[in-house]
A and B are shown apart, each in its own frame.
Chain A
Amino acid sequence: MSRIAARFAALKKEGRGALIPFLEAWDPVEATSKALLRGMPGAGADLIEIGMPFTDPMADGPIIQAAARRGLLAGVKVRFILDMVREFRTGDQATPIVLMGYLNPILSYGPRKFCEDAAKAGVDGLIIVDLPTEEADLLLPHTAANGIDFIRLVAPTTDDARMPHVLNGSSGFVYYVSITGITGTRSASSADLAAAIPRIRRVTDLPIAIGFGVRTPAQAAEASRVADAAVVASALIDTLAGNLDADGKAKPGTVEKVLAQVKALADGVRG
């Protein structure tokens, strides 16, 4: 069983949903993002999403755009992110790691080589924002061959007729983009979520994570209750960005502040 499947199975026995915090690689520098990654499982992260910076993050709002810019400024490369996961795996074999990013850096690396190297490094899943089902054959043979879950995105605009097409052959979990919009801008209402999640459940047995607009412990608790997991990104990056010094480096105590926020979110999810 994959790490993702195993983790969701274990949480189901516990009777609760998952918290999936997000960090952007090399934001603001290598050491800070590595410290965050190391600290997240202890703070209550059930899975971890690592953002791979891209110059043109078309689905992201200002907060994650800025994080990507800081990461690129700090000199991050795709291979460094795989090294980061490999390093993390020396101390943690259980927490699933999902990389989230845009297609071009992966194309540039080589889709086959990327999936091979990512699997070896200990990556469990990929979320590629600009690779819809229509174009997924570019990557799917390689994710499948290397045991990596290609996580599908479902949006409020994905209607019932389209849903089976989008989820055909999916694995790992389903990522529900809960608003029509970019990251870090607004949140879905409880009524929206209550209507949307059953639409997905009718088509798949996979766990469903809710992302975009999940910011507070209460929202994370609701998302993980209505669905199976809550992804929190912009709220954590907001905290990080608010604690940078004049040189753009993290002030002392910043990592602890972000991890305390992860802990509060995890407590929310645990009820």
Chain B
Amino acid sequence: MNQAIPPAAMNSLRSGPTERGRFGDYGGRFVAETLMPIVLAVEQAYAEAKHDPKFQQDLAWHLTHYVGRPSPLWFAERLTKRLGGAKIYFKRDELNHTGSHKANNCMGQILLARRMGKTRIIAETGAGQHGVATATMCALFGLPCTVYMGATDVARQAPNVFRMKLLGAEVVPVTSGAGTLKDAMNEAMRDWVANVNDTFYIIGTVAGPHPYPMMVRDFQSVIGEEAKVQMREAEGRLPDACVACIGGGSNAMGLFHPFLDDTAVRLIGVEAGGHGIDTGEHAASLTGGRPGVLHGNRTYLLQDDDGQIIEAHSISAGLDYPGIGPEHSWLHDIGRVEYVSATDNEALDAFQLCTRTEGIIPALEPAHALAYVTKLAPTMDADKIILMNLCGRGDKDVATVAAHMGVTL
């Protein structure tokens, strides 16, 4: 199949996807006919909203005054000294309202849902960050909200489950499969099929049928756009490397996209290595998977020889997904972004390091990115710069980490 960059993108890596929602061979609209009309309607509504200054002003206003943007850029000086190498900066998206980058996307999509006249919101969630962000926006705008969450994740992310309920959302535990993010997304799709007339599905990552991978990327690109300006202010130049963790890949896509054409900037995505890639128990779709179709898009997937999807494993509920956004698959194939992995244990070590060195308790998701930064920074000279997306705060993970440290709370 054709792996080439689409003609329109010859001069830029930022012009995708095609009209069919393709990034190279990846993406598309692989949904049941029942959903096709609504998927096309979302595409059209978003295309109009994207070019409507009123919509963009409304979004910017809410991001500033409700979400709390721009998020700061923080020079992690003690961590830099400790690791002894490149200067490390954190993009502090954990300081957003609701505690993660998910708010950027949820605000964008709920404004679109309102514009489309939809009166009910559904979402899937893994760690609960996207669920909390969705429930929050629904509370703000007074819309009923149902969040699908794998039963395993309901158990390991109890504080977020309670948070969603406080915000007025209905949380539906999903027991099929391993009871994680993949299963939650299946169930959300089933809900959408049955309630397509009044319901808007706020997908939390850069996956799903077109236009979601593009739309979520656009809403998250505020991360990279701000970071570019902030890096120039702080250092007078762009970083040498950007690092972000990847489950579905929305925080990474948001950081990377504005940098795609700055070819001197290395872009590094860190997948969840679970117990180790060689154990087969991981969530590293690009490192350990191959292309297939799931949840509306063609992308790299963890699957067996017969095309059945394999359950992912990660200590981080937010990365515990057997697929990845299609734009990442394309960026992987063309070599623009490097994709590596960090194991559960490496992430746990990085979690503690960040907490004690910088006084920031990171979520286990960006702890994976940090685990790679701890390896990368010492290999780089002191005048080099690493920008890492600290995409979520770790309050929700305190119990998980305690259990791994053998501490009873």
Q: Give residues in A with beta carbon < 8 Å to B.
A: 54-59, 61, 65, 72, 77-78, 102-109, 129-135, 152-159, 162, 166, 177, 180-182, 185
Contacts and interface: CB of A to CB of B under 8 A. Distances in A.
Nearest to A175: B33
Given A104-B294, A132-B33, A157 B196 contact: yes
B328 interface: no
Given A59-B190, A154-B33, 9 more contacts: A56-B186, A104-B293, A104-B307, A105-B308, A106-B307, A108-B306, A155-B33, A157-B33, A180-B194
A24 to B, nearest CB: 14
B218 to A, nearest CB: 21
Nearest to A212: B34
B37 A157 contact: yes
B33 to A, nearest CB: 4
Given A55-B177, A135-B30, A177-B34, A182 B193 contact: yes
A132 B29 contact: yes
A4 to B, nearest CB: 20
Contacts of A103: 30, 293
B28 interface: yes
Nearest to A58: B189
Interface in B287-344: 291-296, 301, 303, 305-309
B379 interface: no
Interface string B12-43: 00000000100000001111111111100000
Contacts of A55: 177, 308-309
B322 to A, nearest CB: 9
A68 to B, nearest CB: 10
Interface residues of B, number: 36
Interface in B182-224: 182, 186, 189-190, 193-197
15 contacts: A54-B308, A55-B308, A56-B309, A59-B190, A61-B190, A72-B308, A104-B307, A108-B305, A108-B306, A130-B293, A131-B30, A157-B33, A157-B36, A177-B32, A180-B195
A129 B307 contact: no
A104 B301 contact: yes
Determine the main DSSP class of A at the interface with B: loop
A156 B195 CA distance: 12
B190 A134 contact: no
B44 interface: no
B385 to A, nearest CB: 41
B176 A59 contact: no
Nearest to B38: A157
A185 B194 contact: yes
- A132, A133, A135, A182 — which one has the most chain B CB atoms within 10 A of its CB? A132
A107 B292 contact: yes
A132 B291 CA distance: 19
A77 B293 contact: no
A131 B193 CA distance: 15
Contacts of B193: 58-59, 180-182
Contacts of B308: 54-55, 72, 104-105
Given A153-B33, A180-B196, A182-B194, A78 B307 contact: yes
A190 B197 CA distance: 21
A130 B307 contact: no
A108 B32 contact: no
Contacts of B33: 132-133, 152-155, 157-158, 166, 177
Contacts of B34: 59, 155-157, 177, 180-181
B176 A130 contact: no
Given A129-B32, A153-B32, A107 B37 contact: no
A54 B294 CA distance: 11
Contact of B303 (A108, A129, A132): A108
A41 B91 CA distance: 65
A129 B32 CA distance: 5
A109 B293 CA distance: 13
A237 to B, nearest CB: 16
B57 to A, nearest CB: 33
B307 A182 contact: no
Contacts of B291: 107
A129 B176 CA distance: 19
A182 B37 contact: no
Interface in B137-195: 176-177, 182, 186, 189-190, 193-195
Which 9 interchain pairs have the tightest Cβ spacing?
A108-B307, A105-B307, A155-B34, A181-B194, A153-B33, A104-B307, A55-B309, A58-B189, A104-B292
